[in-house]
């Protein structure tokens, strides 16, 4: 009698799996996202394509844990991100976090003025190339004697506006280059 009960459960399970597959396939005749023409057959090429498109997988994504705010993905293919790193190329970086959308530099000082230094933080508020997509803050540190009696203040908005302007200008150029590259790839005969 137990064997009969197990086989009934197994049959019910298989029935639900088959019905589920039927509904999934009946939508358009194929599984969504499974168009083999859009994905390279070589696994290494698929990895390159996924990295280029900014796709990835983390355990936080799989289990749904995360903040209550909006979700922004930043990757090396993001023109705003690349432009920000290029503009800050002269400064040492303390923290760079794609998923957190933040870049923090270390204190930077000119050789001629060792008692004066600056620190820049950039927060990404969206992926769009707009002036309100970035929150740039610049802090200035003035010390009397080599890191003794230091005063740290947020700097004037003129330098913030200039950094913001340079990042947006570079990002627009990168986006234009990316669009041109995509256009060239589409025009190739297959």
Smallest CA-to-CA distance from 109 within 139, 85, 82 is with 139
Residue pair 118/138 in contact (Cβ under 8 Å)? The answer is yes
Residue pair 120/107 in contact (Cβ under 8 Å)? The answer is no
Q: What pTM was computed for the model?
A: 0.56
Which three-class secondary structure state does DSSP give residue 182?
helix
Compute the Cα dihedral for 48, 61, 103, 124 and give only its sign.
positive
Which three-class secondary structure state does DSSP give residue 54?
coil
DSSP-assigned letters across all residues of 71-95: -----TT-HHHHHHHHHTTTS-EEE
Determine the pLDDT at residue 70.
47
Determine the pLDDT at residue 163.
93
Q: For each of the chain's 190 residues, which pLDDT tens digit applies? A: 455 556 777 777 777 788 776 666 665 555 555 555 666 667 667 666 666 665 554 444 444 444 444 444 445 668 999 999 999 998 999 998 877 889 999 999 888 888 889 999 999 998 889 989 999 999 999 988 766 788 889 987 899 999 999 999 999 999 998 888 877 665 555 5
Distances (CA, A) of 80 to 21, 69, 85, 133, 180: 42, 20, 9, 9, 17
Determine the pLDDT at residue 26.
61
Give the separation between CA 140 and CA 131, rounded to whole angstroms.
23
* The residue count for the chain: 190
Residue pair 177/163 in contact (Cβ under 8 Å)? The answer is no
Residue pair 143/115 in contact (Cβ under 8 Å)? The answer is yes
């Amino acid at each position: 009698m137990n064997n009969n009960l197990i086989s009934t459960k197994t049959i019910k399970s298989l029935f639900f799996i088959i019905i589920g597959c039927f509904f999934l396939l009946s939508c358009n005749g194929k599984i969504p996202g499974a168009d083999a023409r859009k994905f390279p057959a070589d696994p290494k090429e698929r990895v390159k394509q996924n990295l280029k498109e900014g796709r990835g997988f983390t355990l936080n994504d799989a289990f749904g844990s995360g903040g209550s705010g909006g979700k922004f993905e930043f990757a090396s293919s993001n023109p705003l991100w690349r432009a920000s790193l290029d503009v800050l190329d002269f400064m040492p970086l303390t923290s760079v976090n794609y998923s957190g959308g933040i870049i923090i530099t270390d204190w930077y000082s000119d050789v001629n003025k060792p008692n004066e230094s600056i620190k820049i933080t950039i927060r990404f508020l969206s992926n769009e190339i707009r002036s309100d997509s970035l929150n740039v803050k610049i802090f200035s540190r003035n010390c009397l004697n080599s890191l003794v009696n230091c005063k740290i203040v947020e700097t004037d908005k003129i330098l913030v506006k200039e950094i913001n302007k340079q990042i947006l200008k570079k990002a627009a150029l990168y986006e234009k280059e990316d669009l041109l590259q995509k256009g060239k790839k589409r025009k190739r005969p297959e």
